Amino acid sequence: MQYLQYIKPAITADTSTLSATNLAGRRIEAGAFSHPQWLRLCFIERQLLWERRLTTTMLMETFGISRPQAQKDIKLYQQLAPTAMKPYQLGIPYHQPTEGFEPVLLSGEDLQWQSIEDYAPPSAGHATEMPMLKRRHNLPVLARLLSAIEHQRSIEAVIATMNSPKGRTRRLTPTAVAFVNNRYHVRAFCWDHMGYRDFLIGRFKSNPEVVTAPRSGMSSAKNAPAFEQCNGVPPEADTDWDQMVELELKPNPHLSGEQQALIASDYELEEGGAWKRVTMRKPLIGYFLVDNRIPSSKVEYHMAAHDNPIAWPVFACTADSNRPAHEIGFKPD
């Protein structure tokens, strides 16, 4: 599972100095800073957003800069985002984000996780790149959900789904965020369905608002909503999320022997004389199958076996029981 993705700086040609009005209500642009400094400022914000902590040592080791320079960068970020960090607390050797922290440098289009800087594709006449559709991201929503997870809060928000495309109010207790291909999901206990589900963050129609249950004993009536009866604490653990499943990947056995050998080479499915194995959380298996063109349903499995095996080159099964991976399933909302 990829848990998050990092930032691609949006460099602009504008080199004007930032004014106080720039800092309120909209994202700060990169043009007022040198490129190395912009990357360091984005790194600071990335640490506060995802790691929920920042130290000068992190900046020093990542960028190879001196301690005074790292401290100077942190001070500059505090000037750009004066409400982003909690005041210094005795005994805590790192900076913490405030509970209402929202990024001012990063945008939903710039999210990256693995690297500090992304490079543009080659522009030579003999090379080209196929455009890919991007999914909508909502960075303020993402920031609030991460804060809710950190502080164990429940939230309410209007969320659109395929079953409710106009959106309706949901009450959730978020527990984790997963980045799947080009989209973010939040894993949460849904108080409507009384179970754990996945919600696309890009489909939040309103910013999440924290909700709290009455103090223990004040809503013990049997006809009280489940959220109040449970004091806002999910009544069950997310056992599916905690379960790690190992999958074995191999060529579609309904292809010819030569075709299977080609697929094994294409996808590098052989490792040390055995088929390739990957391990992931159980709720993410369905997404893995869909995004990698592996049969993800009974219908697709039948098509891969009988109708058009070439369209489904790779099969996946559980490593321990050889059970087709699509039978495990998943429950997006």
pLDDT tens-place string over residues 200-239? 999 999 999 999 877 655 555 677 788 988 888 999 999 9
Q: Structural domain tally of the chain?
A: 3
| Predicted pLDDT of residue 4 | 39
- Of 333, 87, 75, whose CA–CA distance to 203 is shortest? 333
| Residues 286, 247 share a domain | yes
The reported pTM is 0.78
Q: Is residue 71 part of a domain?
A: yes
Q: What is the pLDDT of residue 71?
A: 96
Q: What is the pLDDT of residues 23-62, one digit of tens each?
A: 334 457 666 788 889 989 999 998 998 889 999 999 999 9
Domain membership of residue 40 as a residue range: 20-110
Among residues 190, 209, 238, the one where a domain terminates is 238
What per-residue confidence (pLDDT) applies to 220? 57
**Per-residue pLDDT at 328:** 85
Report if residue 11 sits inside a domain: no
Q: How far apart are CA 157 and CA 167, in angstroms?
A: 9
Regarding whether 28 and 100 lie in a shared domain, the answer is yes
Give yes or no: residues 207 and 193 share one domain: yes
The confidence score (pLDDT) of residue 123 equals: 55
Domain boundary among 214, 238, 262: 238
Q: Quick check: is 131 in a domain?
A: no
**pLDDT confidence of residue 117:** 46
For residue 158, being part of any structural domain is answered with: yes
Nearest of 23, 152, 145 to residue 84 by alpha carbon:
23
The ranges of the chain with pLDDT < 50 are: 1-26, 112-119
Q: Which of 207, 238, 269 is the last residue of a domain?
A: 238
